[in-house]
């Protein structure tokens, strides 16, 4: 590439990033430092070097290296796929990324096998680009990049958390009780729990990071005899994307997600307030009743706005039916008892 007059004096990595948008600036910086960028017979090893007018710069981009995790033939529910990205409806129980204790059997392993040669390389490695995650036992929609260009574009949208209008993320959750207001906003900073490092907690802002979640009460499930709200279904929208954000925020306001084994432990006794069908459905759920139901974003290459929806999975839907049916069953039993007394 020949350097134009207008580009003279700019940083080398910045000029290359503008000229080769399909490769991330961090990747180009690594190529410069690895000696893969030359001008004539000279190797340009300083990413901050000022370019000169009329220079001809050559970038040698090696073939992407094979992914380190091994591909595994794990069934995937693919909602959308093209040459740049893939949208998955993740089931509960599937870990997104290999880590300690989960070296195999992850979504990344499955994607490496599924996508194969269509992975053009993220940072020089043929691997899927993870731009956001869902907890192991949270189900729902998740987008993954297949190319460096898509990875850059998606990462920028998730970093903005929807503030620029491009990204939309909505969840559905069944929670104990119901907030006093039908809609509201939880604004509480999150950080590592001071005593239990595997957990997150609401902390002082100086010790954590800003986090905000908006909620709307969509349906309440009441005890037919007392009228007390047993549980409700919430629609939740993220303003930030912190680890365990929804689960911690809901527990913080006293309405943890049903079945949450970490942040809802103090509400185990609440299960006894459910009828037999509800207790069975909750026990069979075996995880938090949280689902990523809506995912919308601007396609990082075509610039088309895409929106995907996912219905409640069978286990959460079964629990919701049990909660919703409790009122009618209890009311019928109450009427039947009165009629017998007469």
**Angle at alpha carbon of residue 162, lines to 159 and 164, rounded to 5°:** 95
Q: Are residues 241 and 167 in the same domain?
A: yes
In this structure, what DSSP letter does residue 3 have?
P
Q: List the CATH number of the domain containing 125.
A: 3.30.2350.10
Q: Are residues 229 and 243 in the same domain?
A: yes
Is 60 tagged catalytic?
Answer: no
Q: Are residues 84 and 217 in the same domain?
A: no
Judged by average pLDDT, the poorest of 46-60, 217-231, 281-295, 302-316 is: 46-60
pLDDT in tens, 21-56: 767 777 788 778 877 788 887 888 888 888 888 888
Chosen domain end from 159, 187, 219: 159
Q: Are residues 251 and 153 in the same domain?
A: no
Total number of domains constituting the chain:
3
pTM of the full predicted structure?
0.76
37: burial class by Cβ within 10 Å (0-12, 13-18, 19+)?
Answer: buried
Q: Are residues 326 and 237 in the same domain?
A: yes
Judged by average pLDDT, the poorest of 102-106, 123-127, 304-308, 313-317 is: 123-127
Q: List the CATH number of the domain containing 27.
A: 3.10.290.10
Rounded Cα gap, residues 96 and 131, in angstroms: 11
CA 332 centroid distance within chain: 42
Q: Are residues 218 and 153 in the same domain?
A: no
HEC letters along 58-79: EECCCCCECCCCCCCCCCCCEE
pLDDT in tens, 144-187: 999 888 988 999 999 998 888 899 999 999 999 999 999 999 99
Q: Are residues 152 and 168 in the same domain?
A: no
pLDDT band at 93 (very low <50, low <70, confident <90, very high): very high
- Point out the catalytic residue in the list 13, 89, 135, 275: 135
Domain that holds residue 213: 161-342
Chosen domain end from 159, 177, 205: 159
Q: Are residues 168 and 124 in the same domain?
A: no
Q: Are residues 107 and 178 in the same domain?
A: no
Chosen domain end from 105, 136, 159: 159
Q: Are residues 147 and 202 in the same domain?
A: no
């Amino acid at each position: 590439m020949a350097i134009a007059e207008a580009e003279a004096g700019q940083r080398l990595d910045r000029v290359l990033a503008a000229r080769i948008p399909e490769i991330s600036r961090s990747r180009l910086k690594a190529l410069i430092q690895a000696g893969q960028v030359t001008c004539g017979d000279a190797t340009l090893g300083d990413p901050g070097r000022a370019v000169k007018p009329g220079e001809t710069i050559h970038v040698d981009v090696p073939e992407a290296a094979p992914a380190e995790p091994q591909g595994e033939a794990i069934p995937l529910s693919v909602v959308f796929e093209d040459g740049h990205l893939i949208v998955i409806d993740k089931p509960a129980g599937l870990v997104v990324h290999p880590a300690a204790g989960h070296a195999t059997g992850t979504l990344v392993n499955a994607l490496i096998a599924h996508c194969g040669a269509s992975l053009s390389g993220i940072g020089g490695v043929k691997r899927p680009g993870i731009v956001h995650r869902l907890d192991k036992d949270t189900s729902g929609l998740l987008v993954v990049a297949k190319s460096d260009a898509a990875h850059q574009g998606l990462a920028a949208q998730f970093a903005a958390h929807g503030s620029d209008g491009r990204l939309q993320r909505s969840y559905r959750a069944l929670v104990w009780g119901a907030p006093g207001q039908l809609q509201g906003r939880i604004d509480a900073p999150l950080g590592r729990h001071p005593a239990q490092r595997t957990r997150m907690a609401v902390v002082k802002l100086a010790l954590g990071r800003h986090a905000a979640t908006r909620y709307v009460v969509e349906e309440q499930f009441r005890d037919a005899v007392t009228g007390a709200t047993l549980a409700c279904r919430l629609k939740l929208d993220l303003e930030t994307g912190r680890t365990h954000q929804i689960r911690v925020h809901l527990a913080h306001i006293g309405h943890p997600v049903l079945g949450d084994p970490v942040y809802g432990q103090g509400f185990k006794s609440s299960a006894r307030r459910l009828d037999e069908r509800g207790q069975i459905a909750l026990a069979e759920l075996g995880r938090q009743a949280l689902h990523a139901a809506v995912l919308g974003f601007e396609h990082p290459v075509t610039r088309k706005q895409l929106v995907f929806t996912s219905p409640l999975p069978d286990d959460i839907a079964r629990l919701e039916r049990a909660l919703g049916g409790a009122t009618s069953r209890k009311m019928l039993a109450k009427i039947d008892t009165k009629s017998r007394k007469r």
